[in-house]
Structure 1
Amino acid sequence: MTGFILAATASFALLGAPAKAVEREPVPVVAVASHAQEFADRLILRGRTEANRKVEVKSEIAGLVASPPLRKGAQVRAGEILCNIEDGGRTAELAEAKARLSEAQQNFEASEQLSKKGFTTETRANAMIAELAQAHARVLRAELNIERLAIAAPFDGILESDTAELGSLLQSGSTCATLIALDPIKLIAYVPERSVDAIEVGARIQARLITGREIEGRISFVSRAADRETRTYLVEAEAPNPDLAIRDGMTAEIGVALKSRMAHLAPQNALTLNDDGALGVRLAVDGVARFAPVTILKDEPRGVWLDGLPETADILVAGQEFVIDGAPLDVEYAEPDRIQ
């Protein structure tokens, strides 16, 4: 009986004793010590070139063209005459207007002398003043019409059409010539609404034309109103074109430099998912594994640019699939260049 009690007591003591905690062995992993770098992404747009200026130079008065035409493709300077219109009696109209002005001036002076002596009414004096003003206006109008006989280029450019033919009749509002300016050349494209806030006026652009030529410039305009049908925003850029070799309407692939930010460049195999399916990487923090969610900014041959990590991070690149948060790690560090 005594032996049975001793055996039972020993069994109870064994069952009631607290279990000793099992320590987890550190998991061997490979990590890279990553430091945040400046990351400048580019937004690629499809667009085309466009003349910086384009205008139909029109006549302001009616008359026959008195000058031989300039041929399309000719380069002209601002102020160069494109079309001369026949006088059509306008010089005579100016001479008549000047004669009437001289007569009105004499009548006004005579009326003024009589008014001082009290021999004319105030109404008559005012009428002379009005007549003199009208004579001045007729002279100015006649002079302006003579100036309008010569139709000049408003800016440096290239004729996109022949000027009006010699002997042809131009009405007020008829086209003398079409003129375009190609330096600087304009590039236009439309950007989706989700990306428009990333583009700033003054941002640098690099464009590749359909011919293979590459040019550089800067953003000059970002629309604040979307196209109602496509929900896209007009973006314009300007690039130097001193030799005028870039034509209006050429297809272009436009790369817009976006605002830079700090990010980490990590190998693609560092990416993993947590139990909730969130994309991220595992870090070695104080000797244990920690999951960190990330956002992929760009995927390129060297690796992936990641946002959401601290300035310095030890990113696991091998063995991260076999650890969970809080697992102790046996970390071996590798050079980033050898991993990527």
Structure 2
Amino acid sequence: MGPFTLRRRYAVAALLVVGCVLWFTSGILISRKTSRGPIFDGRADICSLIDVLEFDAAVHEVKRVFSANVAAARAVDIISEANGRVEEVLLSNGSAVDKDQVILRIDARGKLERLEQARVLLEQRRLERGVSESLGAEGYRSQVHDHAALVALREAEVNYKNAKLALDSATVKAPFVGVVDEILPQVGSMVSVGQTVARVLNFDNLKVVTYVPERDVAYIKPGDSVKVKLGRTGVVSSGKVSFVSKVVSPETKSYKLEIIIEPQGIFEITEGMFAQVEFVIGREKAYRIPSSSLSVSAKGNLGVKVLDDRGIVRVLDVSIVDDDEGYIWVSDIHEDSVKLIVRGHEYALDGAQIVECNT
């Protein structure tokens, strides 16, 4: 192969490379010259791509809603103070009960006998004490014997009192007005001292129990007013915080709260009923805006894009303080009103100017 042939091949290859470069470059130039993309710098009119609305700031109550359960404000497990067989059960589960009304009786025949013996002995000791005082006054009885008679009388009085208490303990009574939630023993059952025999509830006031996460508990204190929605019917009552736990649950990282409310009396309250508790944890200046209008600043912070008085796009950092049915409340905007880009904010660059857009 001669030198001329090689030179011709090199020339053809060079021409092909140059042609490819020119073709590629021309495509880029043509593309840049004819492109009408929505991203822009400087002055531009892209009103067909964006919507701008004016929003006013307002003082917003920041609320938190938590699930809760209803309990009676007063609930007592009645403990047996006597040993014996249950002789009679006078009420049933769910019965209304008055204070000191008898719920059940334990066999008390042995206790009656001991009480009668203690009564007879007490009368005897009183007579002996009276005789001793008379003889002592006339000088026929020593002071030592008189003192011994007094000690015997006091001992008899204590024995009689204990026997009466033992008899009374065989009768189980309600400690307050309320509802008998449950009676555990049946007629013929054996019970012993310290055994739970009944549970009585009082629903004049309700205790609503909920659990609040760590981020919110600092804003709640005893005495705060709260709104409570009871049951599936949605009956709303007002209440006050009565207790805030100082110990966090290691499993849920939440704190136990108790709220006392007065029931409305228009429907039946049950132990364990579902409820919702609404707390107001703060009030601050904020804007209610569509959640879709949120953007991200160049620094990666959550923000919104607004237009200033000259139509210049500005990115403002914001903090979300609450949500409201598809809208959100945001703070950290110092102006009392803003022109917010609610649609197409991704097309508006920070610092760009938008003209002839109706707000």
Contact 2:308 2:339 in 1 (8 A): no
Preserved contact between residue 64 and residue 281 of structure 2 (Cα < 8 Å): no
Q: Does 1:108 align with 2:132?
A: no
Moved more, 239-248 or 58-67: 239-248
Q: Report if aligned partners of 1:183, 1:244 keep a CA contact under 8 Å in 2.
A: no
Shift of 1:261: 1.0
1:145 to 135, 143, 166: 166
Correspondence 1:214 to 2:238: no
2:288 is matched with which residue? 265
- Which string of whole-angstrom CA distances, capped at 9 and with x for unpartnered residues, describes residues 128-178 of structure 1? 332222122122222222322321112333333346433444333344333
* Residue-by-residue CA offset, 1:84-127 (whole Å, 9 max, x unaligned): 23441434433432333333334334444555566655544443
Q: What TM-score comes out, normalization by structure 1 length?
A: 0.72
Which residue among 277, 285, 296 is the counterpart of 2:320? 296
CA distance in 1 between partners of 2:178 and 2:267 (Å): 10
2-side partners of 1:48 and 1:157: how far apart?
19
Instruction: State the alpha-carbon separation in 2 of the partners of residues 215 and 199 from structure 1.
Output: 23
How far off its partner does 1:47 sit?
3.9
Please report how far the alpha carbon of residue 302 of structure 1 lies from its aligned counterpart in structure 2 after TM superposition.
5.8
What is the distance in 1 between the residues matched to 2:191 and 2:292? 73
Tell me if the contact between 1:183 and 1:242 (Cα under 8 Å) persists in the aligned partners.
Answer: no
Q: Distance in 2 between matches of 1:125 and 1:323?
A: 109
Among 302, 306, 313, the alignment partner of 1:279 is 302
Q: Could you say which residue in structure 1 is the equivalent of 2:340?
A: 316
Choose which of 173, 179, 187 in structure 2 pairs with 1:158: 179
Residue 230 of structure 1 pairs with residue 252 of structure 2: yes
The match for 1:173 among 165, 188, 194 is 194
Given residue 250 of structure 2, which amino acid in structure 1 is its aligned partner? R
TM-score, normalized by length of structure 2? Answer: 0.68
Q: Distance in 2 between matches of 1:54 and 1:138?
A: 34
Aligned to 2:278: 256
Decide whether the 8 Å contact of 1:84 with 1:150 is kept in 2: yes
What is the CA distance between 1:189 and its match in structure 2? 2.9
Q: C-alpha root-mean-square deviation of aligned residues, in Å?
A: 3.7
Aligned CA distance change for structure 1 residues 71 and 316 (closer, same or farther; 3 Å): closer
In structure 2, the CA distance between the partners of 1:269 and 1:84, relative to structure 1 (3 Å rule), is closer
Instruction: Give the superposition deviation at 1:32.
Output: 5.1
**Alpha-carbon deviations, 1:285-306, whole Å to 9, x = none?**
6656654321011233463211
Task: Name the residue aligned to 2:57.
Answer: 36
Conserved? CA contact 1:69–1:162, under 8 Å: no
Residues 271 and 244 of structure 1, relative CA distance in 2, 3 Å threshold: closer
Q: Does 1:94 align with 2:115?
A: yes
Conserved 8 A contact 1:90-1:142: yes
Query: Residue 97 of structure 1 aligns to a residue in which SS?
Result: helix
- Share of identical aligned residues, percent? 24
CA separation in 1, counterparts of 2:356 and 2:293? 15
Contact 2:66 2:211 in 1 (8 A): yes
- Is the contact made by 1:182 and 1:248 (CA closer than 8 Å) also made in structure 2? no
Deviation for aligned residue 1:81 = 0.9
1:256: how far off?
Answer: 1.8
Structure 2 CA distance, aligned partners of 1:315 and 1:120? 110
Letter in structure 2 aligned against 1:271? L
Contact 2:89–2:103 under 8 Å retained in 1: no
Contact 2:249 2:255 in 1 (8 A): yes
Residues of 2 paired with 1:167 and 1:253: CA distance? 40
SS in 2 for 1:233: strand
